[in-house]
A and B are shown apart, each in its own frame.
Chain A
């Protein structure tokens, strides 16, 4: 499953290089996306594009590191990544307080041939809230 792992690596290399168009070129247009902590699900690359556009806008100095990646025998790429950046814009309701965040994530991406056709991503949204100064889960937009 080296080919699948290479597709996964290339996807994140392009995200790291802010080449969103190039990254999305590796994704089937009807890919199933589930960003679990955000409760966002969809069957189009627009869901993914929207997430990364908002992430890169909110954290203009975004840094991404792939910590570990492997591919299962069924073509599922499992990637542990870390992202880090300083907030400059609101992000999914989290008011900008110019705080630094670092977040560990795991992405499960199924590769069929040369394209990614399933994505499920997990991380701890509580950690993100803590880093960005959110005090209560029922008032994410209120910071004090």
Chain B
């Protein structure tokens, strides 16, 4: 694991994942600035009228998404496998996120399957020790396979 040059940024990110592990969504949001940006890069839901992306603000997109995810995967947890940071408040983490499905999540029907999915989370932490931006990457194909969904939508 890398060492931090700006300890507060790393502490904030660790606190974020601690809160996520405790299913404390309010705590996750409180670690973010009021206007924090949110980019879940793989999220792309195609409907007849439009494409819904995981792109917006933590408070309007991130919070409901985390709440719904925890509701669908009640044992949702995370494990940081690597972390690095710079002196400008940039933090990158590789995180294994795991959970067992108990309810449908969006278009993913519940088959009661378990998943372990590698993620990369990138954070920008401001000088006030609040997260200003969250960006995440993962492979939805891997996730779908583990949950028993084989259609590409």
Question: With a CB–CB cut-off of 8 A, which chain B residues contact A108?
Answer: 82, 92, 94, 120
**How many B residues face the partner with a CB closer than 8 A?**
36
User: Is A135 an interface residue, CB under 8 A from the partner?
Assistant: yes
Whether the Cβ atoms of B122 and A137 lie closer than 8 Å is no
Total A-B Cβ pairs within 8 A: 98
Closest Cβ of chain A to B10, distance in Å, is 10
How many chain A residues sit at the interface, stated as a range, is 20 to 34
Question: With a CB–CB cut-off of 8 A, which chain A residues contact B46?
Answer: 130
Complex-state Cα separation, A78 to B121, whole angstroms: 11
Whether the Cβ atoms of A76 and B141 lie closer than 8 Å is no
Closest Cβ of chain B to A120, distance in Å, is 7
Closest Cβ of chain B to A99, distance in Å, is 13
Complex-state Cα separation, A78 to B82, whole angstroms: 12
User: Is B88 an interface residue, CB under 8 A from the partner?
Assistant: yes
Whether the Cβ atoms of B139 and A78 lie closer than 8 Å is no
Enumerate chain B interface residues (CB-CB to A < 8 A).
2-5, 41-42, 44, 46, 82, 84-88, 90, 92, 94, 118-120, 122, 135, 137-145, 149-153
Q: A70-B88, A73-B5, A127-B44 are in contact. List 6 more A-B contacts (CB 8 A).
A: A36-B118, A72-B85, A76-B84, A125-B142, A127-B42, A137-B144
Enumerate chain A interface residues (CB-CB to B < 8 A).
1, 36-37, 68, 70-74, 76, 78, 80, 104-106, 108, 120, 122-127, 129-130, 134-138
